[in-house]
Amino acid sequence: MINYLIRRVLYAIPILVGVNVITFALFFFVNTPDDMARMQLGQKRVTEESVRKWKEERGYDRPLFVNLSREGVGKITDTIFFTKSVKMFAFDFGRAEADGRDIGHEIRSRMWASLAIALPVFLVGMLTYITLALLMAFFRASYVDFAGVVLCVIAMSVSGLFYIIGGQFLISKLWNLVPISGYGEGLNTWKFLVLPVVIGIIAGVGASARWYRTIFLEEINRDYVRTARAKGLSEVRVLFKHVLHNAMIPILTGAVVAIPLLFLGSLITESFFAIPGLGSYTIDAINNQDFSVVRAMVFLGSVLYIIGLILTDVSYTIADPRVRLQ
């Protein structure tokens, strides 16, 4: 298992290099560093001198991928791509181009707000979806099941934007229960968190509950379930003990990958509810064309995704002892 993990981590390196190449290529395909400097300095009265200075301060005064003026290894190492990427692998993200703040610090301080929403949504959501799916599986081929599936299909056909807009309108504006958006400090935070969390869970109910129901129904026709029933176990026990346990692998496949990515928060939810998390940080960076921040978030996202993939494999061994990682 240790060998397997080491191999997976090593395999991640070329992927992360590839991710960096793609981000760089996308950004510099049309934008030259000069354009970037002008954009960040403001359009008006930008002198050659100030552009040069801006580039020098931030290390953009080198060629992009290949430096022909150098000898040997320097051809590759003395470039924007290399100098910026190497630091990235040490998780040193540098400073944002717009306001010069330290990106690493920013990520560390904003991460908790994202997590405060994403983690409850994930945990409570999983519990809700699995419970609903088990209920539908329990009442399979009856009107309860049918109504459940119909509701799920309708729920998954509604755009997530409408859940947010509708929820904000009903709960905050009409009934005045919780603030419409914002984020507080200390104990008051929960007031701001309730609505986004509840909406986050509801928005996912249709697709997830239906998907888990399909997984459970696939298991329910297996021989071991028949054996369990033949032994005289109650249907509830069959479902919760046998079916749920055996359905863990497909459930884990979809769920575990998402866990590390919870740190990044949700772009849409955070911007609608004005939550100072990483999602809104990313949206702002996209709108400001702040290359440093976008690059850092892409890199972080990829790292977390790869961690998620490795965790998924590890979780298989826990859920199913037959799985061995080699």
- Report the C-alpha gap between 80 and 219 in whole angstroms: 53
Query: Please, which residues bridge with residue 14 across strands?
Result: none
- Residue 6, interface with another protein (CB under 8 A)? no
Query: Tokens 């990235």 — which residue?
Result: 88
Instruction: Give yes or no for residue 9 binding another protein (CB under 8 A).
Output: no
Give the nearest distance from C-beta 149 to another protein in angstroms: 9
59 Cβ partners below 8 Å, 6+ apart?
80, 83, 84
Tell me: does residue 161 bind another protein (CB under 8 A).
yes
Q: List 102's β-bridge partners, or say none.
A: 95
In this chain, which of 8, 15, 78, 229 binds another protein, going by CB under 8 A?
15
H or E element at residue 263: none
Who contacts 203 (Cβ-Cβ below 8 Å, separation ≥6)? 160, 163, 164
* Torsions phi, psi for 47 (to 5 deg): -90, 160
Bridge partners for 95 per DSSP: 102
Q: Does 169 bind another protein (CB under 8 A)?
A: yes
Is residue 165 part of the contact set for another protein (CB under 8 A)? yes
Q: Does 250 bind another protein (CB under 8 A)?
A: no
- Asked if 154 is part of the footprint of another protein (rule: CB under 8 A), the reply reads yes
Return the residue of 2, 3, 10, 29 that touches another protein, per CB under 8 A: 29
Residue among 170 and 318 whose Cβ is closer to another protein = 170
Say how far apart CA 248 and CA 319 lie, in whole Å: 7
* Choice from 79, 246, 269, 282 touching another protein (CB under 8 A): 282
- Alpha helical stretches, state H, 91-156: 103-138, 143-156
Q: Which of 43, 47, 69, 157 lies at the binding interface for another protein (CB under 8 A)?
A: 157
Place of tokens 């996209």: 286
Q: Which of 3, 43, 159, 326 binds another protein (CB under 8 A)?
A: 159
Q: Which is nearer to another protein, 139 or 211 (CB)?
A: 211
First to last CA, the chain: 6
Q: Are 199 and 178 in contact (CB under 8 A)?
A: no
CB of 305 to another protein, least distance (A): 4
**Binding-residue total with another protein (CB under 8 A):** 43
Based on CB atoms, which residue is closest to another protein, 143 or 186? 143
Task: Write down the least CB distance from residue 221 to another protein, Å.
Answer: 8
Question: What does the alpha-carbon distance between residue 264 and residue 258 come to, in Å, rounded to a whole number?
Answer: 10
Does the protein bind another protein through residue 153 (CB under 8 A)?
A: yes
Task: Write down the least CB distance from residue 20 to another protein, Å.
Answer: 10
Write out the residues near another protein by the rule CB under 8 A: 14-15, 18-19, 22-23, 26-27, 29-31, 35, 153-154, 156-162, 165, 168-169, 173, 218, 261, 264, 267-268, 271, 282-283, 286-287, 289, 294, 297-298, 301-302, 305-306
